[in-house]
């Protein structure tokens, strides 16, 4: 018969408990928080930055989170707070890039794939269109699409992350979808 | 032009359908199906992060624990209390209002006596023996200058 100790089925510590440990200066607790949330942060930032910069930006987000943990209010949800930091880092990055980037004529790439193109190629083509579509719309609109439509986050949480009213989230979502739909239409996809 | 009408069994999509109609549901499904995959995390990313944090720890002062915060708060309270006590000691005691009124009343009643001390002073009266020794000297000292 298998002996089950209490530790075997001890539930994993909650985010709040890990945060308390971090505030007491335990980096291992922060390692656990990183493991839990790094994928969401990565998924959000990949649409806002150059893929080559993704690792650095994710690291910047978590270093900022570590520095900010002692000041973190107990009432705030860690994931919301972390998303807020990630959004700030991503927006800063885009602002910097926009300042540095020289204005170049955007090359219009018209893909004219035949209906009988291999499925994998078509999928890659669509991925490229989605990626360019998210780059095409403004960051304010892109983040709402990413969080709501791709990550299935409730509008109230998005409002809290972006510090805007829920009505503004709805409005941005509406306009972002409209712009995306127009972009896809130009690319030959009618949705 | 490609016409895409994807169908999804995801309950979240059904929610969106009710929110924004089929139009939005198609768009959302398309986005989800073709969103670029999240890049794999590099093997050393976690190690680099923890090293960076450890470096932060050595360069910055350690974060305050709740216990040290409590001690700081208690110290501040004691300091403020001591200051208040010191202030109380340094300030002259205040007279009660009734006592002040009585004192003021006394001054008013006796002001004439103070102003016209030449007439009332028992020390400068003519019968005073202390003025007899040098007559006129005391009288001179309290005489007012003649009015014009």
- Nearest Cα residue to A152 out of A16, A32, A43: A43
Please name the residues in contact with A36: beta carbons below 8 A apart, sequence gap of 6 or more.
A15
Query: What was the pLDDT predicted at A1?
Result: 44
Output the average pLDDT for chain B. Answer: 70
Which single residue is written with the structure tokens 């969106």?
B16
- pLDDT greater at residue A190 or residue B148: A190
Residue B6 burial by CB count (10 A; 0-12/13-18/19+): exposed, middle or buried?
A: middle
pLDDT in tens, A77-98: 888 899 999 999 988 888 888 7
Which single residue is written with the structure tokens 């007439």?
B119
Give the integer Cα–Cα distance in Å for A129 and A185: 11
Chain A residues at the B interface, defined by Cβ less than 8 Å, are: 23-25, 27, 30-31, 34-35, 38-39, 42-43, 46-47, 51, 54-55, 58-59, 62-63, 66-67, 69-70, 115, 123, 126-127, 129-131, 145, 149-150, 152, 174, 177, 180-181, 184, 188-191
Query: What was the pLDDT predicted at B102?
Result: 86
- Nearest Cα residue to A45 out of A13, A89, A4, A5: A89
Residue A46 Cα, gap to closest chain B Cα (Å) = 7
Whether chain A has a CB inside 8 Å of the CB on B36: the answer is: yes
pLDDT in tens, B72-86: 999 999 999 999 888
At A9 the three-state DSSP class reads coil
Query: What was the pLDDT predicted at B8?
Result: 41
Residues of chain A positioned with their CB less than 8 A from the CB of B41:
38-39, 42, 55, 58
Give the integer Cα–Cα distance in Å for B19 and B10: 14
Instruction: List, as one string, the DSSP characters of A71-132.
Output: G--TTS-HHHHHHHHHHHHHHHHHHHHHHHS---PPPP------TTS-HHHHHHHHHHHHHH
pLDDT in tens, A17-60: 888 888 888 888 999 999 999 999 998 898 888 888 899 999 99
Indicate if the pLDDT at residue B105 is higher than 60: yes
Whether chain A has a CB inside 8 Å of the CB on B15: the answer is: no
Span between the terminal Cα atoms of chain B, in Å:
120
Give the integer Cα–Cα distance in Å for B10 and B24: 14
Indicate if the pLDDT at residue A103 is higher than 70: no
């Amino acid at each position: 018969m298998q002996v089950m100790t209490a530790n075997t089925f001890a539930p994993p510590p909650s985010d709040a408990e890990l945060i308390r440990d971090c505030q007491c200066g335990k980096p291992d607790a922060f390692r656990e928080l990183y493991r839990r949330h790094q994928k969401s942060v990565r998924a959000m930032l990949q649409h806002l930055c150059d893929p080559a910069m993704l690792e650095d930006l994710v690291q910047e987000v978590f270093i900022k989170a570590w520095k900010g943990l002692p000041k973190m209010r107990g009432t705030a949800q860690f994931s919301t707070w972390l998303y807020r930091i990630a959004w700030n880092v991503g927006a800063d990055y885009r602002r910097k890039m926009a300042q540095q980037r020289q204005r170049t004529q955007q090359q219009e790439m018209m893909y004219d794939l035949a209906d009988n193109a291999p499925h994998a190629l078509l999928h890659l083509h669509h991925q490229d269109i989605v990626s360019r579509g998210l780059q095409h719309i403004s960051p304010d609109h892109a983040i709402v699409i990413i969080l709501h439509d791709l990550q299935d986050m409730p509008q109230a949480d998005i409002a809290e992350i972006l510090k805007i009213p829920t009505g503004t989230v709805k409005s941005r979502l509406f306009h972002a979808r409209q712009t995306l739909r127009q972009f896809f239409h130009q690319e030959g996809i009618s949705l | 032009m490609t016409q895409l009408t994807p169908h999804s069994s995801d309950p979240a999509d059904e929610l969106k359908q009710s929110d924004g109609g089929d139009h939005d549901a198609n768009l959302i499904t398309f986005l989800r199906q073709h969103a670029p995959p999240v890049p794999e995390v590099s093997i050393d990313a976690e190690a680099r992060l923890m090293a960076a944090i450890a470096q932060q720890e050595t360069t910055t002062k350690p974060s305050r624990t709740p216990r040290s915060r409590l001690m700081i708060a208690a110290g501040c309270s004691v300091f403020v209390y001591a200051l208040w006590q010191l202030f109380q000691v340094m300030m002259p005691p205040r007279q009660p209002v009734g006592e002040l009124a009585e004192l003021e009343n006394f001054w008013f009643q006796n002001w004439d006596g103070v102003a016209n001390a030449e007439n009332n002073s028992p020390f400068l009266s003519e019968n005073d023996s202390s003025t007899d020794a040098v007559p006129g000297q005391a009288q001179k000292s309290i005489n007012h200058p003649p009015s014009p």
